[in-house]
């Protein structure tokens, strides 16, 4: 069995990031707040990024979202609040037949020692890119 190098892992993470940016061109990403939107824009996400509306219940937010979208990408923080929100959003959105993708969230959760929130993604990814000679802009 082949040993997976750090470089291989970093390349896999960056491939996932690029795949997510491509999917975001047609599928909106749900984040916790405005600073998360800014963080993803720093990573050159061009698609729709929707912050969770704090003045609305999760149920109402999900119902409103279901009127416009049949699929969303969930990318909330990896702290306990973010995990609870992710779980609640998945449950509510799925009840309205909205498909939820949280594969990138799971990948980032596995790297939680390096980051705990979406706002930290740019600094982590730029550092990893610099250390491994990878370009973030494609």
- Tell me what pLDDT residue 1 has: 45
* pLDDT tens profile 103-126: 999 888 887 667 779 999 998 888
Residue 19 lies in a domain: yes
Counting every residue written for the chain, the total comes to 138
Please state the domain count of the chain.
1
CATH of the domain at 75: 3.40.1360.10
| Structural contact between residues 72 and 13, judged by C-beta atoms closer than 8 angstroms | no
Residue 121 lies in a domain: yes
pLDDT at 53 over 80: no
- Tell me what pLDDT residue 4 has: 54
Residue 136 lies in a domain: no
Residue 86 lies in a domain: yes
Residue 138 lies in a domain: no
Residue 16 lies in a domain: yes
- Tell me what pLDDT residue 96 has: 97
In the chain, the percentage of residues whose pLDDT exceeds 70 is 92
* pLDDT tens profile 54-97: 788 999 999 999 999 999 999 999 988 999 999 999 999 999 99
**What residue numbers bound the domain in which 111 lies?**
6-131
Spatial CA neighbour of 94 closest among 63, 127, 122: 63
The mean pLDDT value of the chain amounts to 89
Residue 137 lies in a domain: no
- Tell me what pLDDT residue 5 has: 62
69: left (phi > 0), else alpha (psi -120 to 50), else beta? Answer: beta
Residue 72 lies in a domain: yes
Spatial CA neighbour of 30 closest among 14, 45, 8: 45
């Amino acid at each position: 069995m082949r040993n997976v190098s750090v470089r291989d892992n970093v390349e896999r993470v960056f491939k996932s990031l690029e795949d997510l940016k491509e999917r975001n061109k047609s599928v909106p990403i749900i984040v916790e707040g405005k600073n998360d939107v800014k963080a993803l824009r720093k990573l050159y996400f061009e698609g729709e990024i929707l912050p969770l509306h704090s003045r609305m219940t999760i149920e109402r937010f999900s119902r409103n979202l279901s009127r416009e979208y049949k699929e969303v990408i969930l990318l909330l923080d990896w702290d306990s609040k973010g995990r609870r929100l992710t779980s609640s959003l998945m449950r509510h959105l799925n009840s309205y037949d909205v498909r939820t993708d949280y594969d990138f969230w799971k990948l980032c959760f596995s790297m939680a020692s390096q980051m705990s929130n979406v706002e930290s993604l740019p600094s982590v990814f730029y550092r990893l890119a610099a250390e491994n000679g990878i370009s973030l802009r494609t």
